[in-house]
Structure 1
Amino acid sequence: MSDKKDLYGYEEEDIMTLEFDDGEATECGILGVFDALGKEYIALNPLGTEDVYIYGYRESDEEYELIDIKDDDEFNKVVAEFEKLAVEEV
């Protein structure tokens, strides 16, 4: 049949590879970019899992930057906003 990898319902342009400090790489589907607390965030789904990773997100020209959310209070508020948006999508 086809040797194309399983994209788990994502278009190829909606997949990005996260590279962690330990050298591990994980392909993730982009669930979406959303605003919360006056900033932009991105929600990513590691392919083949039900997990969701949320990062701060900054884009300029053709470049983008993912920013770790180090503050627990900020993270909890962003997760709550993402969950609210996810429910509205259904």
Structure 2
Amino acid sequence: MSEELFNSASCSGDCTSCGSDCQDLDQPTVTLTLDDDTEVKCAVLTIFPAPNQKEYIALLPLDENGENEDGEVYLYRYYEENGQPNLDNIDSDEEYEIAADAFDELMDTEQFNEMEENSTEE
């Protein structure tokens, strides 16, 4: 699997022309090359720690229109080597559960914080 991190900045600024819900232009993306040589462009949702002292990355696979209709998220082990980001497959069900639980907890916390912010604005 090869990965290439880059920023997606292909927006012309005219939201009426593309029909998009306007993703953040600074949203980093990664292009994964899967085992069958299929390339999948993914938005980087977050890099997060887990209780097993490892870091993971949550990726949102995007279709040819830059959207994700099914809500599927890919989780990979994340580390840096010589200043370069690297991803590894999560090989065991046990490790995957640890990473998935940490991601779910992070999302629950983010959702709670967002709800709390919205309630104080009203």
Deviation at 1:77, TM superposition (A): 1.5
Q: 1:86 — aligned with what?
A: 107
Structure 1 segments (4+ residues) deviating >3 Å: none
Cα distance change on mapping 1:8 and 1:20 into 2, 3 Å? farther
When normalised by structure 1's length, the TM-score is 0.84
Quickly say closer, same or farther: Cα 1:46–1:8, change in 2 above 3 A.
Answer: farther
Q: Equivalent of 2:56, from 20, 35, 41?
A: 41
Identity %: 33
Structure with the bigger percentage of strand: 1
The runs of 5 or more residues in structure 1 that have no matched partner are none
CA RMSD of aligned residues (A): 2.2
Distance 1:8 1:30, change over 3 A: farther
Contact 2:47 2:55 in 1 (8 A): yes
- List runs of 5+ in structure 2 lacking aligned partners: 1-11, 112-122
TM-score when normalising by structure 2: 0.64
Structure 1 residue 61, shift from structure 2 partner: 3.9
Are 2:80 and 1:59 aligned? yes
Counting matched residue pairs gives 88
